[in-house]
Amino acid sequence: MIRTFLERQALGHNRLVSLYRRFGRPYGTQWAAYLQRHGGLYHLGKDCSILPSTRIVDPPLTSIGDRVQLGNCTLLCHDGAIAAISHRHKLKLDRVGALVIEDDVFIGEGAIVMASGGKVVIGEGSVIGAGAVVRQSIPAGSIVTGNPAKVVGKVEDMLRFWEADTLAWPWGGLIASREGAYDPAIEPELMRLRQIHFFGKAADRNA
């Protein structure tokens, strides 16, 4: 009940937002819905999932497409050092950029995407791995890891390998028969099979 109240206040009136983040514990899709109304982004598309812990430092210079999923990452569109440098060297400098995240992009935990020296475009369908530090545009459909970030593969090339891995799991049949990407009805059995596979036996809930 309190969660619903906080969600209504945040989404409807942009009030009690910090309480909503802390106690409402919004899902990524709920937080994206909040940001769509009150986040101040240049653009935020439909059906996105953005964790409340995601740091979008320059919303007016950030454009996000449809079905984008952001983990606990940081999106930057300015060079934070420039004020100190300008002051020390008595110059009037500006180092900013714009960040365009196209449709169906995934950005993982701890990744930092910096558009501090111009416009950076993360091409549609790309996967930015956890911890990657991205400072330049990424072609569509790329898999990117590391610091500095490098394209290590194409999503399209990996699909049959991921499909093979899924088929090879002892629970591959359950995944194949699942409706959609998540079904709470089969989650307990999925987890039991995963625990048996990785630990040798299922967790003893009575321990």
Partner 1 sequence: MDRQAALEEIQDVVRDVLGDDDIVLTEAMAAEEVDGWDSMAHVNIIIAIEKRFGIQLKATDLAQLRVEGAKLSALVDLVTTAG
Binding site for partner 1 (CB under 8 A): 152-153, 157-161, 163-165, 167-168, 172, 197
When the beta carbons of 139 and 173 are compared against partner 1, the nearer one is: 173
Task: Look up residue 150 and give its DSSP letter.
Answer: E
Least separation in angstroms between CB 161 and partner 1: 5
Token duo for residue 51 = 């964790």
- For partner 1, the closer of residues 47 and 165 by Cβ is 165
* Minimum distance from residue 165 beta carbon to partner 1 (Å): 5
Instruction: Tell the smallest beta-carbon distance from residue 152 to partner 1 (Å).
Output: 8
Residue that the structure tokens 């998540």 belong to: 182
For partner 1, give the closer residue by CB, 131 or 153.
Answer: 153
Residue found under tokens 């987890």: 191
Here the tokens at position 43 are: 């653009």
Q: How far is the CB of 7 from partner 1 (least distance, A)?
A: 40
Q: Whose Cβ is closer to partner 1: residue 163's or residue 183's? A: 163
State how far the alpha carbon of 58 is from the alpha carbons of 74, 175, 201, in Å.
10, 39, 47
- Of the two residues 50 and 143, which places its CB atom closer to partner 1 in the complex? 143
Sign for the pseudo-dihedral over CA of 182, 187, 190, 191: positive
Separation of alpha carbons 189 and 172, rounded Å: 12
Residues 6+ apart with CB under 8 A from 134: 111, 112, 113, 114, 120, 122, 128, 144, 149
In contact, 108 and 73? CB cutoff 8 Å: yes
Report the alpha-carbon distance of residue 62 to residue 57 in Å, rounded.
Answer: 9
Measured from the CB of residue 160, what is the shortest distance to partner 1 in angstroms? Answer: 4
